[in-house]
Amino acid sequence: MMRFFTLFIAFALTGTATGAVGDDEIWHENMLKADSLKRQFELMPLTEKRELDLYHNIAGAYSSNDQDSLLRYAVKGISLARKLNEYDVLMACYCHAGAAHCFRANYDSAFVYFDLLKLLAIEQRNKKAETVALSFYAYIYMIQGKYHTAIDYYLKVLKIEESEGDTRGSVSTLTNLGEINRRLGNTETALRYLEEAEKVCHQFNRAPQYFWRLTSILNEYAFTYLHRGELNVALRYALQSDSINGNRFIVNQCYTNGILASIWLQKNDCDRALPYVLKSYELADRLKDKNLYAYAGKILSDVYMAQKRYPEAEAAALKVWLADSTYIDESRDAVENIVMANIYMRRTERAAYYLKRYSELNTQYAEKNFQTAVSDMMIQYDTEKKETWISTLEKERRLYTGLGVTGGVLAITLAIVLWLSKRNARKEKQLIAARSMFDGEMKERTRLAQDLHDRLSGNLSAVKIELNKQTDTLHHVRDQLDRCIHDVRDVAHNIMPPSLQFGMKVALDDYAAGFPNVSFHFFGKEKRIGEQMEYVVYCCACELVNNAVKHSGARNINMQLVQIEKHVTLTVSDDGCGFDEQKVTKGMGLKSIRNRVESCNGKIDIDSSPGKGTEATIELSV
């Protein structure tokens, strides 16, 4: 449901109609409006400005009726708006195109348009457009299971809305934050966000979109209480939403019917659940939206399973899976129904095949959603919440991998689990090998630097003393020896800087002093963290600074080290030319940095774009 809050904000920015908040009459009116606008291309010669207005308005009329047409006219509008420097319309068309890709679940393509929208919004100082882009980022990250990242973006949106006095916009943002917390299991936090959203919403009870916003809040209340198992409370909110909805708000109506079907299904009343889910399924199919289609189809399959109509349950689940098999949450649940339906129909070979696919989807969930959530959580939450969520997610993963069925199916599951264990063991061996390699490299560098300094440099100094005893005709040779001794000391310093024995702060400060345009700042409490990790931080800092000096043309390079408790963060930023991360091939330097960081179980984030400079951040847990 979060998505349609976001889509409403996007279409509100464009100033065009949207069927997502209209009734059946408005739906057909928009289609007639689009046809009427298109006929104007044939009736009279048009100026480029008028042609651009038509592209913009036609796209708005198609906003939730025909996504192919929406995208086609939005792209035409983008091309002409760029030519005419019509930035407001250009931002609206970026928004239309990105929203069309979101409807189709093409999130990579959607990101492209929302990135363009954000950059142009910042350039034009249009905070409303900027919040739209950030809201869509949050939605896409939520779909990908990166809930904490999504929360970060919505909090940024809320901050901008509060600073701009956009109280109406905050209703959507607060409701979205409620939904994400509900998905994470933080139902108490979710309810607090919903109560705040409802309070703000009632301040605008005469606004045109009041009822649309209110029904969305009521639906989310119903979702949350359904999640808590309080079926009667959830039913009360869903029926209240349904009484407001009528036939006016198609998207909200789809969710309301799905919620009512889920409630009656949990009350073991399939006869009452079926009409609601069929209505939800019909509306989802009408909207041609993959996520809504998966949502309604999964509930329909559940109802059929409860009624022991196994062929229909399998067929409905297959449609969900085929609608968008990359949408892991719904696809995983759908495949589970396919497996169970075939077991009940005694199709053991078919059940075994889909159980394998089910395990593959669970592996994707465990590797992507679980690891992403835990990593994100470790950075942003305190110890108590971290332990709680890690425990919750571990139980969830064990639930998926612990599914047991009859004898032959269990054998397949066991084989897959053993294969996963072997693969994890290989990954662990690779990590140990990488750590050993870097440890060996550090020891070898230390030995080589010491030999250069103590033996070769000492021998050269002895030769110079002997030469001093000779005649003055050997001045040239002595000068060459001085340069040679200086070079040997520089090489030894570069291989293993002696200042590193005093800690990262001293070593990095000493390194930065060698460049006129590099500044170093340290924050936190200095504490030794082990030779290997200090060496990794130093090498990464040197490589990043060298890259900036050689390639960016930066006038200023800033190196910052933050050390707090059990975390070390290194940031290197410059005001240079930047680069396109999608087009620039990652060279050995960047690969070496990533390998070093991974050897310490750390993570690196590089943010750069042409003309905007580069910022690289490395985070390590001590």
Please provide the DSSP assignment of 78-110 as one string: HHHHHHHT-HHHHHHHHHHHHHHHHHTT-HHHH
Residues spanned by the domain of 466? 406-496
Task: Give the DSSP per-residue string, 249-280.
Answer: -HHHHHHHHHHHHHHHHHTT-HHHHHHHHHHH
The strand pair at 557-564 and 567-574 is best described as: antiparallel
Query: Highest-confidence range of 294-308, 319-333, 438-452, 588-602, by mean pLDDT?
Result: 294-308
588 within a domain of the structure (yes/no): yes
Domain shared by 460 and 566, yes or no: no
Domain shared by 436 and 479, yes or no: yes
Domain shared by 518 and 453, yes or no: no
342 CB-near residues (< 8 Å, 6+ apart): 310, 314, 348, 350, 351, 354
575 within a domain of the structure (yes/no): yes
What integer is the mean pLDDT of 89-97?
A: 91
User: Is a pLDDT exceeding 70 seen at residue 451?
Assistant: no
Lowest mean pLDDT of 196-200, 281-285, 345-349, 382-386, name the range: 382-386
Confidence at residue 448, expressed as pLDDT on a 0 to 100 scale: 60
User: Is a pLDDT exceeding 90 seen at residue 272?
Assistant: yes
3-state secondary structure of 519: strand
Confidence at residue 231, expressed as pLDDT on a 0 to 100 scale: 93
Residue located via tokens 């098999």: 325
User: Is a pLDDT exceeding 50 seen at residue 23?
Assistant: no
Lowest mean pLDDT of 8-17, 362-371, 397-406, 474-483, name the range: 8-17
Please count the structural domains in the chain: 2
The strand pair at 567-574 and 614-621 is best described as: antiparallel
Query: Highest-confidence range of 159-168, 320-329, 432-441, 455-464, by mean pLDDT?
Result: 159-168
User: Is a pLDDT exceeding 80 seen at residue 152?
Assistant: yes
Confidence at residue 247, expressed as pLDDT on a 0 to 100 scale: 45
Domain shared by 439 and 412, yes or no: yes
User: Is a pLDDT exceeding 70 seen at residue 270?
Assistant: yes
117/234 Cα distance (integer angstroms): 38
Question: How far is the CA of 66 from the CAs of 28, 52, 57, 622, in angstroms?
Answer: 12, 19, 14, 53
What integer is the mean pLDDT of 46-62?
A: 84
621/288 Cα distance (integer angstroms): 45
397 within a domain of the structure (yes/no): no
What integer is the mean pLDDT of 526-550?
A: 85
9/29 Cα distance (integer angstroms): 21
Domain shared by 513 and 441, yes or no: no
369 within a domain of the structure (yes/no): no
| CA 287 and chain centroid, separation | 25
528 within a domain of the structure (yes/no): yes
547 within a domain of the structure (yes/no): yes
Domain boundary residue, one of 461, 496, 531:
496
Lowest mean pLDDT of 377-386, 471-480, 591-600, name the range: 377-386
Task: Give the DSSP per-residue string, 226-242.
Answer: HHHT-HHHHHHHHHHHH
> Do 37 and 285 form a contact (C-beta atoms < 8 A)?
no
Domain boundary residue, one of 454, 472, 496:
496
Output the six-digit token pair for 245.
């909805």
Domain shared by 516 and 575, yes or no: yes
Lowest mean pLDDT of 294-298, 309-313, 415-419, name the range: 415-419
Return the higher-pLDDT residue of 476 and 383: 476
- Average pLDDT over the chain reads 76
Output the six-digit token pair for 396.
């969830």
Across the chain, how many H-helices and E-strands are there? 26, 5
Confidence at residue 253, expressed as pLDDT on a 0 to 100 scale: 84
Confidence at residue 607, expressed as pLDDT on a 0 to 100 scale: 87
The strand pair at 557-564 and 518-524 is best described as: parallel
Lowest mean pLDDT of 17-26, 323-332, 522-531, 557-566, name the range: 17-26
CATH, residue 598: 3.30.565.10
Domain boundary residue, one of 464, 496, 528:
496
Domain shared by 571 and 529, yes or no: yes
What integer is the mean pLDDT of 565-584?
A: 83
Confidence at residue 232, expressed as pLDDT on a 0 to 100 scale: 94
Confidence at residue 364, expressed as pLDDT on a 0 to 100 scale: 66
User: Is a pLDDT exceeding 60 seen at residue 454?
Assistant: no
Confidence at residue 12, expressed as pLDDT on a 0 to 100 scale: 46
312 within a domain of the structure (yes/no): no
178 CB-near residues (< 8 Å, 6+ apart): 189, 190, 191, 192, 193, 194, 197, 220, 224
Confidence at residue 14, expressed as pLDDT on a 0 to 100 scale: 43
> Do 540 and 559 form a contact (C-beta atoms < 8 A)?
no
pLDDT band at 409 (very low <50, low <70, confident <90, very high): low
Residue 519: strand pairing partners: 558
Return the higher-pLDDT residue of 368 and 572: 572
Domain shared by 535 and 513, yes or no: yes
Confidence at residue 6, expressed as pLDDT on a 0 to 100 scale: 42
Confidence at residue 234, expressed as pLDDT on a 0 to 100 scale: 92
pLDDT band at 251 (very low <50, low <70, confident <90, very high): confident
Q: What percent of the chain has pLDDT over 70?
A: 68
Domain shared by 597 and 511, yes or no: yes
